[in-house]
């Protein structure tokens, strides 16, 4: 899984384009996203076997964190 600080930096950089986006939005998204991904990890392996997507793909993980940050920002 992507390192927390690196993921946070990528979400913060992305969020700067959004008016009113705060560091807290990114922090909560990464923290909550890591928790969710850890909890569903076994089912992600099953899904990845069917879809061919790597559950450890940093691009997909950061995209998930960005989606969560967007929800917090809204």
More confident position, 46 or 37: 37
Cα→Cα distances 12→26, 61, 62, 65, Å: 6, 14, 11, 10
**Lowest-confidence range among 6-10, 52-56, 66-70?**
52-56
pTM: 0.84
Compute the distance between CA of residue 24 and CA of residue 15 in angstroms, rounded to an integer. Answer: 11
In this predicted structure, the answer to whether residue 25 has a pLDDT above a threshold of 80 is yes
| CB burial of residue 67 (10 Å; 0-12, 13-18, 19+) | exposed
**Lowest-confidence range among 17-21, 41-45, 58-62?**
41-45
Mean per-residue pLDDT for 1-26? 93
Question: Quick one: what percent of the chain has pLDDT higher than 70?
Answer: 97
């Amino acid at each position: 899984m992507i390192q927390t600080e690196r993921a946070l930096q990528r979400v913060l950089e992305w969020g700067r384009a959004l008016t009113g986006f705060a560091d807290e939005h990114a922090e909560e998204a990464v923290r909550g996203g890591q928790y969710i991904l850890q909890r569903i990890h076994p089912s992600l392996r099953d899904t990845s076997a069917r879809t061919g997507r790597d559950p450890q793909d940093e691009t997909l993980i950061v995209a998930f964190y960005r989606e969560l940050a967007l929800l917090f920002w809204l």
